[in-house]
């Protein structure tokens, strides 16, 4: 049987997922608000999001990357009937956020930890998770809820900030972030699609939660550029946007062991060090020693 995947939201992560799925033999259709401006991977079809109902009804696998708004999940708002009427739909993957755990004061959370969102956007994500649980149960499809850490990759990393002279090593002792390379999101999502199992919560984070200052320092080292100065958080916060401050207000370490066991994978980029080197290799740039 042909594997037909719809990626609802062919953005930064969605395009990587689509390319990975194509490499594993899926026929892939991605959605875009403006298909004329979309840049799909080779072999991936694009449809207007508003007109994606037919593709969803024909899908065997559905990936949802679109963030919820005030009115809830946009895919369910526009295409709930298509999801319910898709006879061959066997698996749904929903990309959520580790933000649903809220602030844990630096403590670790794992895949079984109950959510406790502390930000309105995280509360909306948790509500969207529940909506997809209900939709999957009603349709009989397996569901993977992927709680994703900070996403980085080509064009979106500390390497770009260092090159632009915009990087800062913000120092806040005891504060770490969990992050994931875009290519490992694609790896995990397609692994989930290929090996579905009822309803699962999976963590898309690498093996080493780390301070942002450490990532900036490694980027500067690899580029052979001057080390950005260290700035205490209390000083840096006066120049942060409200969104940045909201991220810094929460501190948690996100575990991933159960996810890797469930999917049978090892990360391509187990830490930010391998991730930054992977970006440089893709750019054809040599890395510093």
Tokens matching residue 63: 């990936």
**Domain 4-152+179-205+253-268 in this protein, CATH class:** alpha beta
pLDDT at 160 over 90: yes
Reported as a single tens digit per residue, the pLDDT across 210-226 is: 999 999 999 999 999 99
pLDDT at 288 over 70: no
CA 144 to chain centroid, in Å, comes to 13
Domain assignments of the chain as residue spans, ordered by start:
4-152+179-205+253-268
Reported as a single tens digit per residue, the pLDDT across 8-62 is: 999 999 999 999 999 999 999 999 999 999 999 999 999 999 999 999 999 999 9
pLDDT at 289 over 60: no
Q: What is the mean pLDDT of residues 127-146?
A: 97
Reported as a single tens digit per residue, the pLDDT across 55-94 is: 999 999 999 999 999 899 999 999 999 999 999 999 999 9
CA torsion sign, 49 to 50 to 51 to 57?
Answer: positive
Q: What is the mean pLDDT of residues 273-288?
A: 90
Output the pLDDT for position 278.
97
- Return the number of other C-beta atoms located less than 10 Å from residue 36's C-beta: 7
| pTM (2 d.p.) | 0.96
Output the pLDDT for position 1.
77
Q: What is the mean pLDDT of residues 235-262?
A: 96
Output the pLDDT for position 287.
73
SS3 153: strand
Average pLDDT, the chain: 96
Q: What is the mean pLDDT of residues 170-189?
A: 98
Cα–Cα distance for residue pair 9/46, rounded to 1 Å: 10
Q: What is the mean pLDDT of residues 165-185?
A: 97
> Where are any strands of DSSP class E within the chain?
4-8, 27-32, 45-48, 61-64, 91-97, 108-109, 142-148, 150-152, 169-171, 179-181, 199-204, 230-232, 253-254
Cα–Cα distance for residue pair 31/216, rounded to 1 Å: 34
* Residues present in the chain in total: 289
Reported as a single tens digit per residue, the pLDDT across 88-128 is: 999 999 999 999 999 999 999 999 999 999 999 999 999 99
């Amino acid at each position: 049987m042909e594997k037909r995947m719809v990626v609802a939201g062919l953005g930064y992560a969605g395009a990587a997922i689509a390319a990975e799925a194509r490499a594993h033999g899926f026929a892939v259709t991605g959605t875009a608000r403006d298909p004329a401006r979309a840049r799909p991977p080779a072999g991936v079809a694009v449809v207007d999001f508003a007109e994606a109902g037919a593709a969803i009804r024909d899908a065997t696998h559905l990936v949802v990357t679109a963030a919820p708004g005030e009115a809830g999940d946009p895919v369910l708002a526009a295409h709930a009937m298509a999801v319910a009427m898709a006879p061959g739909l066997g698996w749904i993957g929903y990309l959520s956020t580790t933000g649903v755990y809220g602030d844990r004061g630096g403590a670790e959370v794992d895949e079984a930890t109950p959510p406790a969102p502390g930000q309105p956007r995280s509360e909306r994500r948790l509500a969207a998770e529940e909506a997809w649980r209900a939709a999957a149960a009603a349709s009989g499809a397996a569901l993977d809820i992927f709680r994703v850490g900070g996403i980085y990759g080509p064009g979106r990393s500390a390497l770009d900030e260092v090159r632009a002279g915009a990087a800062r090593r913000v120092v806040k002792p005891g504060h770490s972030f969990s992050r994931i390379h875009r290519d490992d999101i694609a790896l995990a999502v397609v692994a989930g699609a290929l090996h579905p199992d009822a309803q699962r919560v999976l963590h898309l984070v690498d093996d080493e939660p780390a301070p942002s200052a450490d990532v900036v320092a490694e980027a500067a080292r690899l580029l052979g550029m001057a080390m950005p100065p260290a700035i205490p958080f209390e000083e840096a916060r006066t120049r942060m946007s409200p969104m940045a401050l909201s991220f810094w207000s929460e501190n948690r370490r996100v575990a991933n062991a159960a996810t890797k066991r469930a999917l049978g994978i090892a990360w391509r980029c187990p830490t930010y060090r391998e991730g930054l080197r992977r970006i440089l290799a893709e750019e054809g740039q040599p890395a510093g020693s």
